[in-house]
Structure 1
Amino acid sequence: MNDAHEARSGALPHSGTPGRTPADLDTEHTTLTDAYRLCRRIAAAHGRTYYSATRLLSADRRPAVHALYAFARTVDDIVDTPAAYGSREALAALDAIEYRLRHAWTLTRADRPAPPPTALPAEFDAVARALTDTVDRFAIDPRHFWTFLDSMRMDIPESPLFRNRYPTMPALHEYMRGSAAAIGLQLLPVLGTVGPVADAEPAAAALGNAFQLTNFLRDLGEDLDRDRIYLPTTELAAFGVDEDLLAHCRRTGRTERRVRRALAHLIAVNRDLYRRAAPGTALLNPRVRPAIRTAATLYAAILDRIEDSGYTVFARRAVVPAHQRIRLAAGAAFRA
């Protein structure tokens, strides 16, 4: 990636591109700064827990994390906004995004023909500019982004990869390999490690999976509205829970006893993921450890809120109140 740093494509210029005048560089710098500002706004608006934790990072790392979040959010919105994108349009948009990033990052067409012109979100160019700068500066392996995009294709009905039910936890982990673990692996070079990056990768992937499973538990009702069940159906069935029962709970807004037991079990599984990821914090740069502990603490607190509400995930979204986020963040940040 560092070799490509010296020559960007015209679509995604980089402020370090040689052969430009000082005026050109000033214009590019302003554009890149604005791109990062947009990414920060996206992170602040849509990822409150995530954004709260990033505020503990150093100023040089924080924008990169915002860029990674904004990219993931932009792609996720394409997949999850049927009013704006039908299945074919969403697939075409993902293909166009992958093509443009491969072309910008490798200066080749990646042995694939250019996809037909496709409308992308208005913010994509700015987000891609910040993302490209982040990938360059921190030498992030592009493969993690292709894995992520393949996972997003699994959410699109007309994709050959499409799945909207996951029978077992291993099957769900295959989806989360791209939707969650890949995000953790993208972040790792930004956060920095005290030893080889490879040593910290299993814990980073586990933490990404822990965050994702928390989302699935919190958003069970909303996902049902989109005809998706991300919780393993065989594990639900062990408690007498099937799709009809879940649909009934969504219609009534009431969580039936068997569903409560199933959710309690899966919350225990989720907490085990957080425990398995926790030792990885010691492998990170000491300066970023408070932020990662804070992110894990705040996300795990969503599970507490689900339990405290009586598992009312069909009626309302579990949210950690602002005052509690501040208290938990402070405790996690200063924990030894």
Structure 2
Amino acid sequence: MTRWFDRSLDAAGIQDPFLRHAFEQCRLVNAEHGKTYYLSSLLLPADRRPHVFALYAFSRTADEFVDDLEAPDPEGLRRWGAKALQDLATGTSTDPVIAAAAHTVATFDLDLTLFEDFLAAMRQDIDTTRYQTFEDLRGYMWGSAAVIGLMMLPLLGPLHEDAREHAVALGEAFQLANFIRDVGEDLQRGRVYLPLDDLDRCGVTPEDLARGTVTPAIRRLLQLEIARTREIFAFAARGVPLVRPESRPCLTTAVRLYGGILDEVEKADYQVLTQRVSVPNRRRAAVALPQLVRAVGARRDDRRWHLAAT
């Protein structure tokens, strides 16, 4: 375990050896699979980072049961999900990822129905491979993405009730950016997350996408999806001032880097059917470093406020 994460666990008051190991396992899952999410999380106050890693690892673990390209395990998802809901309710688990998530649930009094809705969406991926309209897709994204934003919101310190709708939008925007980036990978799983109505409007069929060649019609389709996603990102970004100042650099970084996925798709001339674009490390650094300075300043101001209040 790294020294800085030891200090994060200390700051969060997590002293139980098994729980410390569990949160470290969650951190490693996040570091390996969610680099943008991980980088953004490092800008949060130390006591919040372990809990972000726990929520990420929980969602990633469930997702992998149905998204693994080599050995998907739908029955494994059902078993793990049932155990997870039971253990989250009791507050303890022998599974490290669930144990860390259960501690986070208890610490922030998170609504367990959010986890129920999330796991229901993961089970939906077992046999639902198409969505006719954007509203149909949005119904799926409530469980797969919006609830993640709502799980995260208490960790960020909401200052106004309107922060909720922006958190929902941010979850959707992140997911839509991933759908656009991962069209080719999702086709390998037999899924098309772009609404069929949008395909019809642009003169594209799922079979056209499967051929792997970006035609003018497919380019128009991706342009349509990117424009819609940017609108949702813009609405989500208006929620940044509605959380505590020390959380805003994290949120700003996440918005800019996930939004940067759309820029990279455009730079790659929409070639997402046979390759996976990513935000370059130099851009990650260019976005994150100024926000790190702001994060340090916000934490310093927060400490001054607490000292003045005592």
Give the TM bin, normalised by the shorter chain: 0.7 to 0.9
Contact 2:167 2:236 in 1 (8 A): yes
Aligned counterpart, 1:189? 154
Provide the identity percentage: 42
Q: CA deviation at 1:82?
A: 6.4
CA contact under 8 A between 2:186 and 2:192: conserved in structure 1?
Answer: yes
Deviation at 1:187, TM superposition (A): 0.2
Matched to 1:65, the amino acid is V
CA distance in 1, matches of 2:75, 2:20: 34
- What does residue 217 of structure 2 align with? 258
Kept in 2, the 8 Å contact 1:40–1:63? The answer is yes
* Aligned with residue 77 of structure 2, among 87, 90, 93: 90
Alignment partner of 2:193: what SS? Answer: coil
**2:112 matches 1:125:** no
Structure 2 residues without counterparts, runs of 5 or longer:
1-13, 299-310
Query: 1:219 and 1:319 mapped to 2: Cα distance?
Result: 10
Aligned Cα root-mean-square deviation (Å): 2.2
Out of 161, 186, 192, the residue aligned to residue 229 of structure 1 is 192
Q: Which residue identity does 1:46 align to in structure 2?
A: H
Amino acid paired to 1:306: V
Q: Is the 8 A contact 2:166 2:236 kept in 1?
A: yes
Q: What is the letter of the counterpart of residue 154 of structure 2?
A: P
Structure-2 change in CA distance of 1:334 and 1:269 (3 Å): farther
Matches within 5 A, 1:147-226: 147-157=117-127, 163-195=128-160, 198-226=161-189
Q: Which has the higher helix share?
A: 2
- 1:1-336 map, 5 Å: 29-81=16-68, 83-102=70-89, 104-105=90-91, 125-157=95-127, 163-195=128-160, 198-249=161-212, 254-331=213-290
Query: Which one-letter code corresponds to 2:187 in the other structure?
Result: L
Unaligned segments of structure 1, at least 5 residues: 1-25, 108-122, 158-162
Deviation sequence 1:271-322 (CA, Å, 0-9, x none):
0000111111111011000100000000000100000000010121111111
The secondary structure found in structure 2 opposite 1:58 is: coil
Letter in 1 for 2:136: A
TM-score by length of 1: 0.80
Deviations 1:241-268 (A, max 9, x none): 111111112xxxx311110111011100
Give the secondary-structure state (helix, strand or coil) at the position aligned to 1:241. Answer: coil
Bigger Rg over Cα: 1
**Structure 1 residue 230: Cα displacement:** 0.5
CA distance in 2, matches of 1:277, 1:269: 13
Displaced runs of 4 or more, over 4 A: 82-85, 331-336
Task: Give the superposition deviation at 1:323.
Answer: 1.2
Deviation at 1:141, TM superposition (A): 1.2
Moved more, 132-141 or 173-182: 132-141
User: 1:136: Cα distance to partner?
Assistant: 1.0
Measure, in 2, the Cα distance between the counterparts of 1:260 and 1:332: 34
Q: How far off its partner does 1:91 sit?
A: 2.6
